[in-house]
Amino acid sequence: MPPSNRNRQSNDDNQDSFDDFDDFESSSELAQERIRQLVTDLIGRWYWIALGLVIGVLGALYFLSKAPQKFDATATLLVKQQTATVMAKDQVDEMDLKSDEAINTVAQRIKRAGLLTKLAMNQELIGMEGFFPQPVNWLPEWTDQWLGAKEGTETANAKTAELLNAKSDPEAIGRMIGGWVEVSVRRNTRLLDVKVSHSDPEIAKRIADAIAEEYIAELTGDRAQGRSSSYEILLTQSEQARTKLQTAQNALANYQRVLETLKDLEENETAVIELGRRYLAKHPKMISAQGQLKVYQERFLSEFDSVRQAAADSAYWEANRAEWDAEDQDANEHLQVARRLLAARASVLESEIESQNTVFNSILTRMQETDINQKSTEAEVEISSLANVPRQPSSPKKPLVLAGGSILGLGLGFFIALVLTQLDNKLHTVAQAAYVTHLPVLASVSNMPVKILDTIVRKKKILPSEMPEVQKQWSKHLLFRPGLTDTLYAEMFRNLRASVSLLGDERKRKITLFSSALPGEGKTLISTNFALASAQQGKKTLLLDLDLRKPSVHKMFGLKRDSHEFGSTEILAGLCGWRDALFTRTGEENLDIILSGKKAPSPGELLNTEKLRDLLAELVAEYDIIVIDSAPILAVPDTRLILPAVDNFCLVVRAEYVPKGAVRRVLKVLDEDGYKPSGIVFNGFVEKRRLISQNYSYGQYGKDNRYGYGSYGTYGSDD
């Protein structure tokens, strides 16, 4: 059912009265508000951040107490380039520093596994006392007693066995030494620093020096071996080239005679062709020339067959035998095949001879150069300076460790605070409630422990005889009674009264409804105290209980549900008029109450909007202010049926109780129905010093003491 014109006007007036909340419509401002709220929530959990900082500092101090000290010893190598040649054997030039790869390659070779394994086999070095660092027990000493002597002994034996195994394995020792070594290139120089970190300063120096000396010795041996290996390779290659050259030359020499015969045959063929142009075939000269040509052909074939079967090049002819032995060839084709095969083989042999000559001459040249420069050095490395015994430990660095621990601790604290903020589904402050609902906060009501209220009354020495008889039955949470009317608690409801009066013209906005998303948020507490505050202002006030399922107004005034014969149920059912249901002995002169009445079998059917409007129209004519206490919105639909007939709709939101999702859900439901609360009443917050600015409160402090609507686990069931 759409809202009435009066309710729409109520919403419009409410919007006009709180222009400051229009800013929520801007997405950028929403983002800023979200960040601001997140920062505020994180600051509100400062104790987690402080705890993280303490843990970080303590962890850093514990690390410093357990971590072994490290000493750095550095040996320095100088890399240079020597370009000895035939023209100038002693000319020395610095290495080309434009190529960083050269020096970086040397640096990586110094730390390679092979060199470190050689050091691991130096018994004089690894036999030094303290060479193998003892394992660090990172657990506190008291854990040995907690784990028991047996476990501690087994752990110690395992570590000892592991250390003994490492001492007998050179490769494992080499890997261990590699973890201590760092080789770096000094910027814009040809100097290599070999830095070794060890818990013993003397051992650190010895290892650094040993690495530098071992690399120099290894490099010298590799040069000599490299020169010998290069010469031997060139010598082997020259013999292979020589053998191939001789084989090709021998094979070509074998064909020399038949090649000459082939030349004579070609000359005779040319002569026959010339005579054929001048004479007929039976001319004597032609007959003589043809006979001589045939003789040369037979001689060529005979010589060709002879060289083909010779051992000098038998492998080649064996591979091409099929073409020569073909049966379907006549004499002329046979001759042409022989000529073609001979010419092709001769051409191949001539090319191979030329190629092998080139290879052989090149190898001879390289052998001569290697022999001339066998004492030259391409790259030379020498020790620039040996390591000194370090005096001060290089690690751990106390300031850095403490700073790192503090930063990590702060990060951990912030992370925990952030996670808790994201997981927190409750509202703790007015600022959070305003951010979640995007509604004005009409008033914030702090938690009111009964002990504190009783203490205030006792301190003011209010005697029971001074209190009206009816008020003696009131709930102690009703504040407008002797001893409490001038407290800050009562002032919160006067503040609520003032906020509601500012929603619009009071003469046109007399009906105020209080409800909540869930049961137990204290809407009855708020509505009853608001009614008392209005009555004490001298305004004729009516408190109407329209929670027909589980009413609580009668409990606040120390009454029973059937204390009066008629109530809201009977009025809505048409069993009586509203004047018949009035309860006037409330203890407050200007306050009348209409209780809920007897239990209704179907409360939803009684709450007819038209009937309610007619009823409220009559009540408005008689009263200055009408306060309605209705059922929770998400529990039952009753309140949504009443909303079209009211002027002011106040949503009670209880701190530390109602989930944010429930608040968002009720606002969505109301928005779908076309209603918008006039504002919220933030109820039941526990004031804390770190949250005063977020709750806009007076700064009252007290322990949490839950109160309010009570349990609605089975809302609407019979008592």
Contact status, residue 185 vs residue 191, Cβ threshold 8 Å: yes
Q: What percent of the chain clears pLDDT 90, i.e. is strictly above it?
A: 34
Does the pLDDT at position 687 exceed 90? no
pLDDT, one tens digit per residue, over 112-123 is: 888 888 888 888
How many Å apart are CA 284 and CA 288, to the nearest integer?
Answer: 6
pLDDT of residue 525: 96
How many Å apart are CA 547 and CA 524, to the nearest integer?
Answer: 10
Locate the domains of the chain by residue range.
5-18+440-695, 68-395
pLDDT of residue 350: 80
Contact status, residue 195 vs residue 73, Cβ threshold 8 Å: yes
Residues 6+ apart with CB under 8 A from 511: 616, 620, 626, 628, 645, 646, 647, 648
Longest dimension (CA), the chain: 177
Residues 6+ apart with CB under 8 A from 285: 275, 279
DSSP 8-state class, residue 2: P
- Confidence band (pLDDT; 50, 70, 90) for 174? confident
Closest CA to 684 of 654, 659, 708, 713: 654
Contact status, residue 484 vs residue 457, Cβ threshold 8 Å: yes
How many Å apart are CA 454 and CA 587, to the nearest integer?
Answer: 19
Q: What is the mean pLDDT of residues 51-75?
A: 92
Amino acid letter, residue 479:
L
Range with lowest mean pLDDT among 317-326, 417-426, 518-527, 654-663: 317-326
Tokens, residue 288: 């003589």
Q: Where are the alpha helices (DSSP H) in 45-148?
A: 46-66, 100-110, 113-120, 123-126, 142-147
CATH code assigned to 5-18+440-695: 3.40.50.300
Helix (H, G, I), strand (E, B) or coil at 521: coil
Half-sphere exposure of 271 toward its Cβ, with a 13 Å CA cutoff?
17
- Confidence band (pLDDT; 50, 70, 90) for 489? very high
Closest CA to 210 of 386, 370, 359, 24: 386
pLDDT of residue 155: 56
Range with lowest mean pLDDT among 247-251, 268-272, 528-532: 247-251
Residues 6+ apart with CB under 8 A from 321: none
Q: Give the rounded distance of the alpha carbon of 383 from its chain centre.
A: 47
How many Å apart are CA 640 and CA 631, to the nearest integer?
Answer: 9
What are the φ/ψ torsions at residue 263 (nearest 5 degrees)? -65, -45
pLDDT, one tens digit per residue, over 374-384 is: 444 444 778 88
Contact status, residue 649 vs residue 677, Cβ threshold 8 Å: yes
Residues 6+ apart with CB under 8 A from 544: 568, 593, 594, 619, 626, 627, 628, 629
Closest CA to 528 of 545, 547, 546, 540: 545
pLDDT of residue 692: 45
Range with lowest mean pLDDT among 26-30, 92-96, 429-433, 576-580: 92-96
Does the pLDDT at position 639 exceed 90? yes
Amino acid letter, residue 673:
D
Does the pLDDT at position 699 exceed 50? no
Instruction: Give pTM, 2 decimals.
Output: 0.58
Range with lowest mean pLDDT among 155-159, 234-238, 245-249: 155-159
How many Å apart are CA 508 and CA 487, to the nearest integer?
Answer: 31
Contact status, residue 518 vs residue 712, Cβ threshold 8 Å: yes
Helix (H) or strand (E) holding 705: none
Strand partners, 681: 443, 652
pLDDT, one tens digit per residue, over 393-437 is: 888 889 999 999 999 999 999 999 888 888 888 888 888 888 889
pLDDT, one tens digit per residue, over 280-291 is: 878 888 888 888
Average pLDDT, the chain: 80
Contact status, residue 595 vs residue 545, Cβ threshold 8 Å: yes
pLDDT of residue 95: 42
How many Å apart are CA 38 and CA 545, to the nearest integer?
Answer: 39
